[in-house]
Every structure is written in structure tokens, then in C-alpha cells.
Chains A and B, each alone.
Chain A
Amino acid sequence: MPYHFTLSMIPLALSVLVSGALALYTWQNRRAIGATPFALMMLMLYEWEICYIFQLAGTDAVTKVFWDKLMFLGVVATPVAWLAFALEYTRRKTWINPRRLAMLSIIPAFTILLLLTNDLHHLFWAKAALSSEGGFLHLDNINGPWFWVHTIYSYTLIMVGLVLIVRALLRWPAQYRGQMTWILLATVTPFVANIIFIFRIIPILIDVTPFAFTLTGLGLAFALFHHRLLDLAPIARDIVIDGMKDGMIVLDANQRIVDINRAAQQMIGLSSEPVPIGKPLADVLSAWPNLIERYHNVLETKDEISFGEGETRRWYELNLSALLDENNSLIGQVATVRNISDRKQAESQLLESEARFRQIVENASDVIYRVDSHGYVIYANPATMRILGYGSEKDVVGRHYLELVAPQARHKVKRAYEHQFVSKTPNTYHELPIIAADGSETWLGQNVQLIYEGDRIIGFQALARDITAIKQAHDALRLARDQALEANLAKTRLLSKVSHELRTPLGGILGYAELLQRDTFGQLNEKQQKAASEIIDSTEYLANMVNELLDEAQLRSSTTTLHERVFSPSTLIQQAISGIDILAQNKGLEFSSYIDPNLPQGIYGDDQRIRQIIINLTGNALKFTKEGSVHLTVTCHNENYWGIQVTDTGIGIPKEAQDAIFEPFQQVHSEVTRDNRGIGLGLSIAKQLIELMNGKIVLESEPGRGSTFTVLLPIRAVG
């Protein structure tokens, strides 16, 4: 096969090299979207161009026809690869499957078949001819009908791919417009070239279509690899913008929709309809004419809008921003719409609850107010004005709280609240006099709490009540109590003085009577002796009464003190009952005693007073028992108490009188009292002494059956 290569073929050869290199490079980077079909397309182009060069260089018809036929392998495959690329590049890869590819390849395969068998039927080329122009030999075939089928089919595939890519490019953000233009130009170039060649619009001898395709490939490869961002950005956009919960609509300067995300479509209610790109906003939002009217001439705004009523009312936050180009002229607007129904609902609930609390505070009958950290009143409820007699809030709010406090109390009040502030005491209660509008004093009992903002105290809040009336009553009560105490003390002093002053003359009476009885002043006869004895008896009774009166008076005024020491309880009891035996015998009564051997050897206490208690109780029992016995038992009650029990067979005490007998000057049985002189202080003194010792006394008694007094005293045993 003879060839003749000329210098004019060098650009074509370069183009072949570019195609081959692109095929190789793209194949190596086939992970990029659309790269695999693109590499295939460039390979087909490469084949096409090589065969074409050899066809051109061939110097006889046989050579030329051979290469020409071989060339068609690339020619028919390139559009199919192009379509596959366009599908994959515009995210329609799923559309491509072997079956569909096979169907797409039917016509190209048939074309090749017809081409190879053209000599038999001439369906592809009606006539193959060589012509020589300018000393250059070239094929000048007359195309048969199938050639046109092939051409139309190829164009259809290329057109479909082109439309897919152009549509995708149109959706790209504005900042990619420059690159988009270049890609478009690159894509359109082979068409122009091919149309020129087929229809011989310009008399050129060679077909530049494959070389134009190389340019296309260059442009697309540049887009594919250099601006890989283009692959990612749309995906990112899809994920971010369509995934947003907020609706987003991009408008051009004519209020046409340039972009709208899924959320916005759902909000408008167009989720099932095709994306309304390019439609005027007014058409899309025709259901809400008010909205269009309201924001028609608004470039930028932030607003809250609502749809629906009552429970189904939905709230949205509309954010409208103008898009400006570098010359600050308007090129569009972006609207974002956020569903704020939940927030609005929370806000309205907050408002509602605030109103509820406000109502409570405003209708409260107690004073409620707040002061800032400097002490200035920042809020006061109506009760404050009412109770203090002020006309309006202005008379109170803005004033320092100390101005409202009565001058004599200011210092104390100031110190109290400064202390609360410094010590961070959460809650205090103070009573303080307030100066009312008319100058009168109103007493408030107020609880004050610290108000915090984070860690910082920003003021106080006070809840106060008018306690003037309570205060007055309280003061009156205290005065009465003081007076009563004073009277009691005076009574005690009087009793003490009286007792003291009585003892000295009693000493004289007793002394002289005894001296008389002892015949110091001469021999007395029997009657005189008896008289002297009567004087002595009466004096002793009187002296005893004075002692009891004084004890009672001192116990009543709580001035009795115990003189405690360690003592032996059994010794004490022996001493106490030494005189009682004789008294019982004189009355014809039986007296017995039992001392528990388990009693501690030493007990800490006031032995004199305990002795007084025992004497009082046994004396009392003897006094009210006409016949029978009196029994004294001293036991160790438990580890904490020891007990003194006095039981008699006397007249007993009725239930209703059992509490009263411990009261001073109380005696139940008047007929007994006539025979037994006494002023009824013994039990009262005993009970008070027992209680002073932290002990207790219990009485069990039935009229006619006798009484039992049980005394329990705490054991403070000594080691």
C-alpha cells in the first residue's frame, strides 16, 4: 500500500496524539465521574483520526477505501460513547445497562456490516470515486441511503448527549458560568465542523470533524479533571441544599425561580411536581397572593409569616437577601424560609405562663417588689402601692428601698441586707417599719431572696406582708407579759422579805418559850408548862409555813438553784425517815420502808432537796391516812432512773382532783384539813423540785383505797 505523507498532515497527527494521550490519561483517572465512557470515546476518536490520516496519505483507491472503511469503526462508536458519557456525567448512570447499550449499538453495527458489504448493494456509498484536486488525491464518495441513516442516528445520539449536558450546565451556580460557556463551545464545535464538511458549505477537502472532536475532548477533560469541583459541587449542593430543613429559593432579577430546594418545594406543596425552575415566583406562589404583594418590592428583609389559624397555624421565618454582582447591580434574590412553629409555640406558651404569673403577682394581697443590686426598686406590684398608700408605681419604682424604711430603722435594715448580699444567704425574714405615703409607719414582715444571673447577684426580690396589726398585738402581749413577769418578781421579793422578817421575831418567840419551859425564869406549874408547849408548837408550825412559802416563791420565780454533790442514797433515806417513825406511832399508823440493795452507792444530786421531797411525800401520806399504813419503797427503776414510791391506805384522791393537788394552796378534803394544819404547798414544792431535777412524779389513787406517789429521778451515778 503506497502512501504519501505531507507536511499539511502534521496538525492532524498532533490531534491524533492529543486524542490518544487523553484516552490514556482519562483511563488512568477513570474514577472521575464520566471518565470511563469519556476514555472510550477518545479511544474511538483516536482510531478514527489515525485511520483518517492513513486514508488521506494513501495514494491509490484501494488503500484509501480500506482505511476509510476501517475509520468507520471509530465514527460509529464515538456518538455511542458520547451519549454514555453524557448520561454518566449528568448522574444518569443507572440508565446505562448492557441491554440498552446493545440496543444503542444495533444501528452502528449494521452500519459497519453494510459498509463492509457495500460493493454488493451500494447502500452506504452509491459510488466510490477518487478525485484529484490541487494535486491532492482524495475520496469523493457519493453517499447512499444508509449513510444518511447512520448520520441521522449519530446526530441524534450526539444531540441527546448535548441536551443532557446543557441542561445540567444550566443548573450550575452562576459562578461556574464561564466554564460552562467553554464546555458548551467545545461540545458544539464538532457539529459545526461536521455540518460544514457534509454539506460542503466551505470548499475544504478534508473532514475536520474528528479534530473538532479532539477539541471537545480537551475542553471536557479540562472540566473533568481541572475543575473536579464541578463534580463535587453539584453533589455537595444536592446534599446541603436539598438536605436542609430550611426552604431555599433563588430568584433572578425578574423574580423567576433559578433554584429551589426540596424543603421549599414541600413548604409550597409542590413536592410531587417537577422542579419549577425558570417559572415566575408569582405563578408558583399563586395560592398566597398577599405574600407576593407584600414582598414584591422588598429586596432584603427578615420577617415572620404565618399560615392557617388556631391549632394548625404554622409559623415561618422569611429571610430575603439581595444578590448583587460586582457592580452592585441586582442579579437576584435568595429567600430562606425556616419553620419556626415549634419556637413560636414555645414562645406563646412562655408568654401565657408569664401572663399567668404576672396575674398572680399583680393580684396578690401581699407586697411583692424587686430591687436591683444597688437597692433601687425596679418593680412593685399594685398591693405595694395600696398598702403604702401611694398613688402610682412611679412613687415607688426608681426609689432606693431605704428611702421607704423608717429613718430610725434604716441603719439596721441596711446592715441586715448588706449581710445577706455579702454572705449570699438565699432567704431572710425581717420585720421593718416602712414610711407610708401619709407619713405613718407600716410594719412589714418580709422574706427577701437573692436574684442570680449565673453566679452574679443582680438584686433582691421581696415578698412582704403588712404586719402592723399583728405587731401591735404582739407588742401589747409582750408588754402584758413583761408586766406579769415584773409583778411575779415583785411578789417573789415581797414573799422573801416577809419570810425573812418573820423569822427573826419567831426566833424570839421560840427562844423565850423554850427558856420558859426549861424553867430558866423560875419554876412553872403544869398549866404554864402546857401553855409554853403550845407556844412552841405554834411557832414551829409558823416557821415551817414560812419555809414553805419561801420555797414556793423561789420555785415559782425560777430562782431556786440545786446544790448537787455525791451522796449515798441509802444514808439519805435513813436520815429522812428517822423522825417519821415517831410521827406514825403517834398517829397509830404502821410505817415501813424498803431500800433496794441494787441502788448505786453514790448518786450525784441535791441531797437536801431530795430529802425535802421524801419528807413532804411521807408527811403528806401520814397527814391524809387515818388508819392503816404508809410504805416507802426506794428502788433502782432502770439504768437511768431511781424511784421513790410512797403508798398509803388513806382517803385517796378523786380522778378530777389529781392534777390540782400539785397546784399550790390546794387541798382536796376540807374535813381532813381541819385536823391537819397546813397550807398545801408540800406537793407543789415537791413536784417543782422533781421537775427541776429533770425527774417526774406520778400519782395513782382511788378515793377510799389510798394513794401511791411515784417519783422517778435520773441517775447520775458516780464512777
Chain B
Amino acid sequence: MTTKPCALIIEDDPKLNQIITLTLQTDFDLESCVDGNTAMDLLGNFVPQIVILDLNIPGVSGREILTHIRSDKRLWRTRVIVTTADNRQAEILQNEVDIVLLKPVSPMQLRELALRISSMQ
């Protein structure tokens, strides 16, 4: 049995968090959280292949987490998929992260994209 890639889900809305978890659980080893502070703790303990990041979260903001991932050498191979309900933020981040998805996110599309970028490494 091959090891599944690790994914970290950072989404404060519990329903969306559950949808993403259900979508990705068969293909990824998952960690999930609903606030920024927990996310930072988790990122200190393990190196996920993919981070599904909601920008609008309590605690440490999505942008700060993004900056942290980009500056932490351990996480240099970590890919980030940003989900946001703000199309202006989506436009701004277009060139900074691997993938930006504007909500509502289609679970099937998300799974496909996550698989595609995790297999690219």
C-alpha cells in the first residue's frame, strides 16, 4: 500500500470544512482546522504536500499563513490552493499561489486539481 499525500484543510466554515474533508479523504491523509492559530501549530509539526486555505479565517489571517508557508524552508515544496469568497482577493492572489478558487467551490473540481498538483512534485 502506497502512502497517501498529506493535505491540510484550513476552513472556518464547518460545513465547507466537512465537504472538503469528505471530498479529499479517500486520496489524502488529512489534517484540518477552523482557525489560523491552530493552522500555524499544525504547520510547525508536519509538512503537508497541499494546503487548502480559506483566506477569511479567525486568528492568524489566511494571508499571514500564506506568507509563513512561502518563507519556511521546510515548506518549500508545499502547494497552496486558496479558496475565497472575495473575487478581488482572488484576482490579487492569482499570481502568488498555485491555484485560487472562487467560492462556491465544486468538490469534484477541487479533488481533480488537488490530485493534479500533488502528483506534480
Q: Is the CB of B106 closer than 8 A to any CB of chain A?
A: yes
Q: A503-B102, A504-B103, A518-B108 are in contact. Are A511 and B19 (CB under 8 A)?
A: yes
Residues of B in contact with A, size category: 20 to 34
Docked complex Cα distance between A608 and B23 (Å): 28
Do the beta carbons of B107 and A503 come within 8 Å of each other? no
Residue among A515, A539, A550 making CB contact with B87, cutoff 8 Å: A550
Q: Is the CB of B13 closer than 8 A to any CB of chain A?
A: yes
Do the beta carbons of B15 and A500 come within 8 Å of each other? no
Do the beta carbons of B108 and A503 come within 8 Å of each other? no
Q: Is the CB of A153 closer than 8 A to any CB of chain B?
A: no
Do the beta carbons of A608 and B91 come within 8 Å of each other? yes
Q: A503-B102, A520-B22, A608-B91 are in contact. Are A511 and B107 (CB under 8 A)?
A: yes
Residue among A507, A520, A539, A554 making CB contact with B16, cutoff 8 Å: A507
Do the beta carbons of A508 and B19 come within 8 Å of each other? yes
Residues of B close to A543: CB separation below 8 A: 104
Chain A: which residue is nearest B83 at the CB level? A507
Docked complex Cα distance between A686 and B112 (Å): 31
Residues of B close to A511: CB separation below 8 A: 15-16, 19-20, 23, 104-107
Do the beta carbons of B104 and A515 come within 8 Å of each other? no
Scan residues 69-119 of chain B and give those whose CB is less than 8 A from a CB of chain A. 83, 85-88, 91, 94, 102-108
Residue among B87, B91, B94, B104 making CB contact with A507, cutoff 8 Å: B104
Q: Is the CB of A697 closer than 8 A to any CB of chain B?
A: no
> How many A-B contacts if CB must be within 8 Å?
66
Residues of B close to A341: CB separation below 8 A: none
Residues of B close to A507: CB separation below 8 A: 13, 15-16, 19, 83, 85, 103-105
Q: Is the CB of A253 closer than 8 A to any CB of chain B?
A: no
Scan residues 492-509 of chain A and give those whose CB is less than 8 A from a CB of chain B. 499-501, 503-504, 506-509
Q: In the complex, how many angstroms separate the beta carbon of A578 from the nearest chain B beta carbon?
A: 15
Residues of B close to A515: CB separation below 8 A: 19, 22-23, 107
Q: Is the CB of A372 closer than 8 A to any CB of chain B?
A: no
Scan residues 504-525 of chain A and give those whose CB is less than 8 A from a CB of chain B. 504, 506-512, 514-515, 518, 520
Residues of B close to A179: CB separation below 8 A: none
Q: A547-B87, A563-B94 are in contact. Are A504 and B16 (CB under 8 A)?
A: yes
Residues of A close to B107: CB separation below 8 A: 510-511, 514-515, 518
Docked complex Cα distance between A499 and B22 (Å): 26
Which of A500, A504, A507 has the most C-beta atoms of chain B within 10 angstroms of its own C-beta?
A507
Docked complex Cα distance between A543 and B85 (Å): 11
Docked complex Cα distance between A551 and B102 (Å): 14
Docked complex Cα distance between A506 and B106 (Å): 10
Q: In the complex, how many angstroms separate the beta carbon of B110 from the nearest chain A beta carbon?
A: 9
Chain B: which residue is nearest A560 at the CB level? B88
Q: In the complex, how many angstroms separate the beta carbon of A608 from the nearest chain B beta carbon?
A: 7
Do the beta carbons of B106 and A514 come within 8 Å of each other? yes
Q: A500-B85, A514-B108 are in contact. Are A506 and B103 (CB under 8 A)?
A: yes
Q: In the complex, how many angstroms separate the beta carbon of B114 from the nearest chain A beta carbon?
A: 14
Q: Is the interface of A mostly helix, strand, loop or mixed?
A: helix
Scan residues 534-592 of chain A and give those whose CB is less than 8 A from a CB of chain B. 539, 543, 547, 550-551, 554, 563
Do the beta carbons of B86 and A500 come within 8 Å of each other? yes
Q: In the complex, how many angstroms separate the beta carbon of A522 from the nearest chain B beta carbon?
A: 13
Residues of B close to A608: CB separation below 8 A: 91, 94
Docked complex Cα distance between A514 and B20 (Å): 11
Do the beta carbons of A503 and B22 come within 8 Å of each other? no
Q: In the complex, how many angstroms separate the beta carbon of A485 from the nearest chain B beta carbon?
A: 20
Q: In the complex, how many angstroms separate the beta carbon of A162 from the nearest chain B beta carbon?
A: 127
Docked complex Cα distance between A445 and B21 (Å): 71
Scan residues 5-20 of chain B and give those whose CB is less than 8 A from a CB of chain A. 13, 15-16, 19-20
Docked complex Cα distance between A543 and B94 (Å): 20
Chain A: which residue is nearest B84 at the CB level? A503
Residue among A506, A520, A550 making CB contact with B104, cutoff 8 Å: A506
Residues of B close to A514: CB separation below 8 A: 106-108
Q: In the complex, how many angstroms separate the beta carbon of A7 from the nearest chain B beta carbon?
A: 148
Residues of B close to A509: CB separation below 8 A: 104
Docked complex Cα distance between A592 and B52 (Å): 39
Q: In the complex, how many angstroms separate the beta carbon of A594 from the nearest chain B beta carbon?
A: 29
Residues of B close to A520: CB separation below 8 A: 22
Q: In the complex, how many angstroms separate the beta carbon of B21 from the nearest chain A beta carbon?
A: 11
Residue among B22, B85, B87 making CB contact with A504, cutoff 8 Å: B85
Do the beta carbons of A512 and B94 come within 8 Å of each other? no
Do the beta carbons of A503 and B19 come within 8 Å of each other? no
Residues of B close to A504: CB separation below 8 A: 13, 16, 85, 103
Do the beta carbons of A503 and B104 come within 8 Å of each other? yes
Docked complex Cα distance between A499 and B107 (Å): 20
Q: In the complex, how many angstroms separate the beta carbon of B82 from the nearest chain A beta carbon?
A: 14
Chain A: which residue is nearest B105 at the CB level? A507
Docked complex Cα distance between A563 and B100 (Å): 15
Residues of A close to B103: CB separation below 8 A: 503-504, 506-507
Do the beta carbons of B19 and A512 come within 8 Å of each other? yes
Residues of B close to A512: CB separation below 8 A: 15, 19
Docked complex Cα distance between A509 and B23 (Å): 14
Docked complex Cα distance between A538 and B22 (Å): 22
Do the beta carbons of A563 and B105 come within 8 Å of each other? no
Residues of A close to B20: CB separation below 8 A: 511
Extra A-B contacts (14), CB below 8 Å, given A514-B107, A551-B87: A499-B87, A501-B85, A503-B103, A503-B104, A507-B16, A507-B85, A508-B15, A508-B104, A509-B104, A510-B104, A511-B15, A511-B104, A511-B107, A547-B87
CB<8 Å pairs between A and B, sample of 17: A500-B85, A504-B13, A504-B16, A506-B103, A507-B103, A507-B104, A508-B15, A508-B104, A509-B104, A510-B105, A510-B106, A512-B19, A515-B23, A515-B107, A518-B108, A520-B22, A547-B87
In order of increasing CB-CB distance, the 10 nearest A-B pairs are A511-B19, A503-B85, A506-B104, A507-B104, A503-B103, A510-B104, A508-B15, A507-B103, A514-B107, A500-B85
The chain A residues found within 8 Å of chain B, CB to CB, are 499-501, 503-504, 506-512, 514-515, 518, 520, 539, 543, 547, 550-551, 554, 563, 608
